[in-house]
Amino acid sequence: MTDEAPAQGSVDDEVILTLPPRPEYARIARLAVTGLAARLRFSYDDVEDLRVGVGEICNILLESTGGPLVVRCRLGDDEIRLSASRPGLDRDLDVTDLSRQILDAFLSDVTVEAEAGRIDAAKRRSIEP
């Protein structure tokens, strides 16, 4: 008998992190999300892309005053879908051109709902040759 969990999640798996709205807690979000990607056997490069993308999402969301940072991860067989938000923000999200370029370079299906204080994105596992 082994204690090791299956390497792949199912479509129903969801992990929700609720963190204090302080920059030092963004590291926890990055570690948790990249740990989930490693569990799904994402490549090292895919995990690093996800780490950079999640870090940028956290930076954008933490620029305003508001409630806790909430990061939802939905796990699929070959992708992680993210939805990160901060309820009760004092202003709309301000996504600079550079931030948008970073998000688009490292993640896919990026949607910013500035008024709602939410960013959705996905990362798919690369197919290895």
Q: Note whether residue 2 is domain-resident.
A: no
- Going by C-beta distance under 8 Å and a sequence separation of 6 or more, which residues neighbour residue 13? 74, 75
Task: Give the chain's domain count.
Answer: 1
Q: Note whether residue 3 is domain-resident.
A: no
- Identify which has the larger pLDDT, 115 or 127: 115
The model's confidence at residue 64, banded by pLDDT at 50, 70 and 90, is confident
Average confidence (pLDDT) over 95-124: 95
- Judge residue 17's burial from the number of C-beta atoms within 10 Å of its C-beta, 0-12 exposed, 13-18 middle, 19 or more buried: middle
pLDDT (0 to 100) of residue 128 = 64
| 70 neighbors 22 (Cβ within 8 angstroms) | no
The CATH number of residue 64's host domain is 3.30.565.10
Q: Note whether residue 39 is domain-resident.
A: yes
pLDDT (0 to 100) of residue 34 = 95
Tell me which residue of 13, 117, 31 sits closest to 73, measured CA to CA: 13
pLDDT (0 to 100) of residue 77 = 86
Determine the Cα–Cα distance for residues 53 and 119; give it in Å rounded to an integer.
Answer: 11
Q: Note whether residue 9 is domain-resident.
A: no
CA 112 to centroid of chain Cα atoms: 13
User: What's the domain range around 107?
Assistant: 14-124
Q: Note whether residue 23 is domain-resident.
A: yes
Q: Note whether residue 80 is domain-resident.
A: yes
Q: Note whether residue 74 is domain-resident.
A: yes
